[in-house]
Amino acid sequence: MVKKLKSFVAVFLLVLIVFAIFAVRGNSVKDLLTQYVPFLFQKQTDKVLSYKLDVKKELKKYGLEKFTPLLLAIMYQESRGEGQDLMQASESAGLKRNQIQDKQVSIQQGVYHFYQMYHLGIKNKVDLNTIIQSYNMGPGYIEYVAANGSKHSEKLAKSYSEKQVKNHPDLYTCGGFKGNFRYPYCFGDYTYAEKVQAKFELLKKNMEKINERTISMKPEN
């Protein structure tokens, strides 16, 4: 009995340590639970998947409907399917944050923003993770990666963020909170692509459960 209790405590502590490490990297406890204990957030997953047809319809305008699961993963990361600006697309349209107050308009703008980043990424021959990261960091990140090996990495994302912070030190401050996981890389979220990839895998598993075909994430050149 004592040995079993010790084993349980050891495993519990190990799990806590792993969660703490991920938390330091910017993954909230909710993000981690969503990824590793998905049934706890099935309602949120279902909510995001309920917009599948809307997202697919919009992507079809640009011939990019195969990226429907990826855009749903971006939606999950941005809003978990909650609120009006589902894709957090206001700023990409030159508006203030959350200024878009219509779900369909948000999907339209979010898809259009992805379309712009996708084609700029293809033109510059960067990888898909760079395109995903640029949804968060903007087109400048694509050009930066293209000039530095053409492949996204956390190191490059940090470097680009640091560059933007130096150019606008009063604008990108992490709210003045040095405890923010992004500090001192306060422009964008350098872990964005990684988080979206995790959401993509989670949603893909849920889509497969309802007999959806697996969608390739590889962009066409």
State the pLDDT at residue 41: 60
Output the pLDDT for position 212: 43
Between 95 and 216, residue with greater pLDDT: 95
Cis peptide before 139 (omega within 30 of 0): no
**What does the pLDDT read at residue 209?**
67
The larger pLDDT score, comparing residue 208 to residue 20, is at 208
* End-to-end Cα, the chain, rounded Å: 60
Fold category of 38-150+192-209 in CATH: Lysozyme (1.10.530)
Angstrom distance (rounded) from CA 37 to CA 198: 12
DSSP H helices in the chain: 2-24, 29-36, 42-49, 52-60, 68-79, 103-124, 128-137, 139-146, 154-167, 192-209
Mean pLDDT, rounded, for 12-31 = 54
Token look-up 């259009």 returns 112
Under the banding of pLDDT at 50, 70 and 90, the label for residue 213 is very low
Q: According to the model, what pLDDT value does residue 44 have?
A: 85
pLDDT single digits (tens) 173-199: 999 999 999 999 999 999 999 999 999
Domain boundaries, the chain: 1-36, 38-150+192-209
Distances (CA, A) of 144 to 154, 156, 188: 13, 8, 14
Question: Can you give the pLDDT at residue 214?
Answer: 46
- Give the CA angle between residues 216, 159, 25 to the nearest 5°: 65
Distances in Å between the alpha carbon of 207 and those of 60, 76, 77, 210?
A: 19, 14, 17, 5
pLDDT digits (tens, 9 = 90+) for 48-100: 999 999 999 999 999 999 999 999 999 999 999 999 999 999 999 999 999 99
